[in-house]
């Protein structure tokens, strides 16, 4: 059994991916985070055009389409929780905390310094002192444009063909064909 198969078979991994409270200090999860940190560190010494860039980014994010690109530096917790569609471009300094899956559709433009956070820490302060959290997946539809510095919070879905203005903090779902802005982001107008 490979390390990846052992990870996917572990109880804490299954809890993490199924929106249950899990221990983020579990050895198999820490191993996955360390691996991703090491790969992200390698990427931070490269440019998008470095000869070894494609091999390294595909090692971090399995299944990344050849038509899609992530410009380093890039940071994530695991990498294997990130799913990106065809012809999607992710600009500099993106952070994806992918304990929960982060799915970004096809033909998307993600501005510099965008952040995608799936972990949610417990509300109760005593429980929060423990190494536990729950992760809620994020989904971005096809043909979306997120301006620079957008933050997408746990469990948010952004529909197809949306524009999210630079600096917005998205805490609730945004329906398809909308332009949203602000903190918290609200729909400012329909695009169709």
Q: Active-site positions?
A: 121
C-alpha count within 13 angstroms, C-beta hemisphere, residue 65: 16
Three-state SS annotation for 113-174? CCEEECEECCCCHHHHCCCEEEECCEEECCCCEECCCCEECCCCEECCCCEECCCCEECCCE
Q: How does DSSP assign 62-115, residue by residue?
A: TT--TT-EEPSSEEES-STTEEE-TT-EE-TTEEEE-SS-EEE-TT-EE-TT-E
Cβ atoms of residues 116 and 96 within 8 Å: yes
CA distance 153 to 169: 7
Cα→Cα distances 91→62, 72, 115, 144, 145, Å? 19, 8, 11, 14, 11
Q: Bridge partners of 146?
A: 110, 164
């Amino acid at each position: 059994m490979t390390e990846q198969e052992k990870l996917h078979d572990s109880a804490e991994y299954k809890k993490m991916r199924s929106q249950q409270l899990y221990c983020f200090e579990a050895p198999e999860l820490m191993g996955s985070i360390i691996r991703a940190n090491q790969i992200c560190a390698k990427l931070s010494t490269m440019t998008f055009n470095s000869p070894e860039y494609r091999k390294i980014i595909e090692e971090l994010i399995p299944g990344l389409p050849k038509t899609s690109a992530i410009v380093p530096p890039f940071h994530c917790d695991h990498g294997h929780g990130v799913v990106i569609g065809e012809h999607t471009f992710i600009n500099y300094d993106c952070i994806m905390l992918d304990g929960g899956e982060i799915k970004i559709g096809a033909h998307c433009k993600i501005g510099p310094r965008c952040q995608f956070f799936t972990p949610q820490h417990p509300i109760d302060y005593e429980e929060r002192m423990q190494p536990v959290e729950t992760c809620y997946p994020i989904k971005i539809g096809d043909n979306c444009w997120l301006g620079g510095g957008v933050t997408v919070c746990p469990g948010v879905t952004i529909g197809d063909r949306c524009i999210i203005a630079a600096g917005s903090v998205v805490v609730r779902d945004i329906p398809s064909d909308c332009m949203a802005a602000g903190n918290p982001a609200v729909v400012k107008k329909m695009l169709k």
